[in-house]
Amino acid sequence: MENCLCRHRILNPPSLPLSSAKTHHFSPRATLKFFTNSHRKPPKGGCFDIRRRPVKVKASAGASHCEFGSLNSPLEPRSPVGKFLSGVLQNHRQLFHVAVGEELKLLSDDRDAAMARMLLNSDSDEALLHRRIAQVKEHECETAVEDIMYLLIFYKFSEIRVPLVPKLSRCIYNGRLEILPSKDWELESIYSLGILDMIKEHVTIMTGLRANCSVTESWATTQIRQFLLGRIYIASILYGYFLKSISRRFHLERSLSMTNHDLRRTSQLFQDMCPYGFKGVISSRTSNTQSIGQGLIQEEEIIEDLKGYIRGNLTGPLQRCAKLRSEEAVNLVESHSVALFGNEGLVESDNVVLTSFSSLKRLVLEAVAFGSFLWETEDHIDNVYKLQENS
């Protein structure tokens, strides 16, 4: 299969504040720092060229002003690689991940080759030229990887049949923002019960909507300053990212704790039984199995609950879990936010929109899922293409 793929390079509720009237420019990157610190079939030979001209799919201007469509996302691919993979995702979905792997490897090789040439010619008359070429290649690769990261996140949303909310300008009509369908169940289905409970608390804090509210309460309307939507959205992306990171760390530490204790208990049991010979080991194994399990469960060193783990470790290593690990992830969150809200939607002003609590919840749930998928995608890509550390 790997030889079959050819590279394509042508290509608010009342509790929500309607605060003061001063106008300041709102930078998504600044907000990040603020929150983190607090059908054609293949031929018989099996090989077929998936190179296609990129296909652009735009939302049609119909009766619905907030219309979802195929591959209709706020942010469009900016690189030839991103446009190529966008076409693969639309026309040859089954080959998407294979194509992604190929492109990441090629990007990594391109970047490494440019860096090697720069180092090789560091003492030559062309050193400045090769340094500039390496810088340009680094920038091109960074943009391409951000596109790949975005398309992988888009793919994860499509797996749960949830379209990304398009540009909000398409969802606002006569000063009212409404996002349909809500897709609450789908957006909540990707989490365990413990994580979901924490996300519901976050939704309540961000929107003022109770977890078990009635339909009437959900569809009640409220006014909110437009730029606050952007801040809520970015804060929710970071929260989803944090929850994914911290839950992975929690399960890893719990697993290691259980494994180490199991080894200690097994070693002690073996020493106790050895004086009786091999038969003694066999005869004692069954009777001691249950006590081993009970000892593991009752061991005080084992972490019991994710919430308790977070409450007990709010400083130190856990602070790093709330920080985006790579520069590419930071850039992607910023680009996606600008594309979704528009530059005018990210400037602090007195512009107010009327919306339902249901639509606010939809935005928050999507953002949390985006952050969770971002963590997974970042982790996946970093295994093939080394991402730049977010300093």
pLDDT digits (tens, 9 = 90+) for 185-236: 999 999 988 889 899 999 999 998 877 788 888 889 999 998 899 999 999 9
Q: pLDDT of 230-277, one tens digit each?
A: 999 999 999 999 999 888 877 677 667 655 545 555 555 445 545 544
Q: Is residue 369 part of a domain?
A: no
List CB contacts of 185: < 8 A, sequence separation 6 or more: none
Look at residues 159, 194, 222 and tell me which one is the last residue of a structural domain: 159
Q: Is residue 147 part of a domain?
A: yes
3-state secondary structure 75-117: CCCCCHHHHHHHHHHHHCHHHHHHHHHHHHHHHHHHHHHHHHH
Spatial separation of the C-alpha atoms in residues 108 and 138, rounded to whole Å: 10
Percent of the chain's residues with pLDDT above 70: 64
Q: Is residue 121 part of a domain?
A: yes
Q: What is the pLDDT of residue 317?
A: 60
Q: Is residue 233 part of a domain?
A: no
* Consecutive H or E run containing 352: strand 352-356
- pLDDT band with cut points at 50, 70 and 90 for residue 77: very high
Q: pLDDT of 144-178, one tens digit each?
A: 999 999 999 999 999 999 999 999 988 888 889 99
Q: Is residue 359 part of a domain?
A: no
Look at residues 159, 174, 199 and tell me which one is the last residue of a structural domain: 159
Look at residues 159, 194, 227 and tell me which one is the last residue of a structural domain: 159
Q: Provide the domain count of the chain.
A: 2
Q: Is residue 151 part of a domain?
A: yes
Query: For residue 94, what is the DSSP state?
Result: G
Q: Is residue 272 part of a domain?
A: yes
Q: Is residue 242 part of a domain?
A: no
Q: Which domain holds residue 132?
A: 51-60+67-159
Residue given tokens 């091109």 in the structure block: 140
Q: What is the pLDDT of residue 132?
A: 93
